[in-house]
Amino acid sequence: MNKVQLGSSDLQVTSVCLGTMTFGEQVNETTAHAILDRSLQRGVNFLDTAEMYAVPARAETFGATETIIGNWLAKNPGARQQLVLATKVAGPSRGMPWVREGSGMTAQDIVNSCEASLKRLQTETIDLYQIHWPERHVPAFGTLYYDPSKEKSATSIHEQLDALGGLVKAGKVRAIGLSNETPYGVHEFVRLAEQHGLPRVATVQNPYCLINRTVENGLDETMHRLGVSLLAYSPLGFGLLTGKYDVSGTEGPDAPKGARISGYESVRKQRWGRPEALVAARRYNALARAHGLTPTQLALAFCYTKWQVASTIIGVTSVAQLDEDLDAYGTTLSAEVLAEIDRIRWEARDPAL
């Protein structure tokens, strides 16, 4: 598997990253450790988590994913040196008062969250520390428009960068990144870093898949010109692009028992639960089958091969799913298939934005 450099940092990661938000909710610790073992065996050196995981977020499972990973690292002392470990500080509370008190995200919040993540992960350094969502009020998680009247920002980007810079200087963080960010946010973080001699963001982790290509609506040019790498999350559209919802009667709340979307009420109300997203996903899935591919192969090959993507984050609930996703690496899409993908997008646009 190819390795890529993340932005202007010295981090070299595989083109596929193991996402872990299911650990501690859908996936118990024993299975999670088996997935981590297998991922490392297959050469994946990039691991992504967050302080707020497991998902769906609950007070009882806050920090559970990092704890599970920390326990695995403690059992496998040689693994830490082989891995690029990424985690995230949660942005302002989105109905999660257990993350922190208040609605903002202060510089001290960033420092405190980092310290807590280091403890749970049982490591001395986080390789890539990301802001999970902006402190500003921006369109995200299914919100379509920016509304200035809802802006409640209390901590400037400069203050956030200053806090992150202190963590880098202390050796607790190697590189920094953003997530669920806008072109404005990326530009401002880079501009202020260069102006004040602070760490430059290496990455942005945003959704990117066949039913959500909003990255290509200007953010891709921003990242390309500023030398910031894209980490694509939800490449399978929260399961819609695997084909498991293609049978009539598996929409939304009626999804098969055990399927990820069936247990996520908030998700069904957001982008992945929109009827238009399922309709578009079924068109892509049919395209895959018509060309001798599984829906999973088509969706992952799309992300794995796009110039915009540095590393694709895959989330799994079993070793078998992990193997299926990794086996799709190396799949190429013909010019005919790519043209048909663009034709469907022209008609369906980005229903899961």
Burial (0-12, 13-18, 19+ Cβ within 10 Å), 2: exposed
> What pLDDT does residue 144 have?
83
Q: Is the peptide bond before 139 cis (omega within 30 degrees of 0)?
A: no
> How is domain 3-237+306-331 classified at the CATH fold level?
TIM Barrel (3.20.20)
Catalytic site includes residue 208: no
Taking the C-alpha atoms of residue 196 and residue 110, their distance in angstroms, rounded to an integer, is 19
Which residues in the chain show pLDDT less than 50?
Answer: 250, 253-254, 256, 258
- Per-domain residue ranges of the chain: 3-237+306-331
Of 172, 99, 98, nearest to 133 by C-alpha is 99
> What pLDDT does residue 101 have?
75
Q: For residue 24, give Cα distances in angstroms to 58, 85, 148, 164.
A: 11, 18, 37, 28
> What pLDDT does residue 100 have?
83
Entry pTM: 0.94
> What pLDDT does residue 104 have?
79
Per the DSSP assignment, residues forming a β-bridge with 46 are 84
Name residue 315's amino acid.
Answer: G
> What pLDDT does residue 139 have?
83
Instruction: Write down the catalytic residue from 53, 129, 304, 329.
Output: 53
| Per-position b or e across 28-39, b if 16+ CB within 10 A of its CB | eeebbbebbebb
> What pLDDT does residue 253 have?
38
> What pLDDT does residue 256 have?
47
Residue 155 near residue 106, CB atoms below 8 Å:
yes
